[in-house]
Amino acid sequence: MISTSITYTQQLVGLGRGGLSAAEARNKIIDKALEMDCSYALFLDGDHLVPIETLSYLSEAMQASDAAMVSGVVCKKGERFQQVCWEVREVDGKKEYYHVTLPLDGRLYEVSVCAFGCTLIDLKKLKKLKKPYFRDTCDSNLGSELVNIRSDINICNAFRDNGEKIWVDTRVLVGHMGVRGVVYPQGAELFDKLKFLEIEARKLKEGQQGKYFCQTW
């Protein structure tokens, strides 16, 4: 397990209009961690609720897997409440991202791209990458149109291109706060069904005919 000697730093980083992009903010955090000679950096999003054992679980997983990054299980708080992790495959010379749903069985799983809202990074491995470590890019290889690639996806790709591994620890089940409540991985399927019912109710109110949901939960 990683040493329990932990230094906490607080720095206000403004995001969005008039502030920094997510990539710029993450680079500032990494620069500060490296300046303090830290070995690891733990990223936690402000709208995430994590178990009290998160740091010990992620550090234990990193030691066991020799990974560059280890993430908890995070679900989107909209769309279909999918887990935020993907497998990347080469299809006809292009990178294709395939959504992955991991079993919540307390094991480690290797993925191509993981969530970044609850992620532990090995800074020794990070320093082997080209700076700036986090960057937003635009890619035309994903289809006929240009696609924005976020910095969290790019850092995962950079690690894998450098021969490093990315893992998800399914012991760390992260709550993602949204307008419908807190979405946990173990309850994401229920949120998905509730959203379907909400859409059907809206159609009925507007006089549209929808498919009525008659499945026993």
The tens digit of pLDDT for each residue in 24-66 reads 888 988 998 899 899 999 999 989 999 999 999 999 999 999 9
Structural domain includes residue 63: yes
Indicate if the alpha-carbon torsion angle 1, 152, 45, 79 is positive or negative: negative
The Cα–Cα gap between 211 and 6 comes to 54
Q: What is the amino acid identity at position 126? A: L
Other residues' Cβ atoms within 10 Å of the Cβ of residue 25: 17
Which CATH number fits the domain that encloses residue 121?
A: 3.90.550.40
Residue 209, domain member (yes or no): no
Q: How many domains does the chain have?
A: 1
Provide the domain limits for residue 109. Answer: 22-184
What is the per-residue pLDDT for 208?
56
What whole-number distance in Å separates Cα of residue 90 and Cα of residue 77?
29
Fill in the DSSP letter of residue 187: G
In this prediction, residue 17 carries a pLDDT of 47
- Is the Cβ–Cβ distance between 104 and 73 less than 8 Å? yes
Q: Is residue 103 part of a domain?
A: yes
- Model confidence, pTM: 0.79
Per-residue pLDDT 10s for the chain (217 aa) are: 444 444 444 454 444 445 678 888 889 889 988 998 999 999 999 899 999 999 999 999 999 999 999 999 999 887 678 899 999 888 887 888 899 999 999 999 999 999 899 999 999 999 999 999 999 886 655 555 545 678 899 999 999 999 999 999 999 999 999 877 788 888 877 766 666 555 555 556 666 555 544 444 3
Residue 2 lies in a domain: no
Look at residue 146 in the predicted model and tell me its pLDDT. Answer: 46
The answer to whether residue 143 sits within a structural domain is: yes
Does 169 reside within a domain? yes
Please check whether residue 137 lies inside any domain of the structure. yes
56 CB-near residues (< 8 Å, 6+ apart) = 1
Residue 16 domain flag: no
Three-state SS for 132-184 is CCCCCEEECCCCCCCEEECHHHHHHHHHHHCCCCEEEEEEEECEEEECCEEEC
pLDDT score, position 73: 96
pLDDT of residue 55: 93
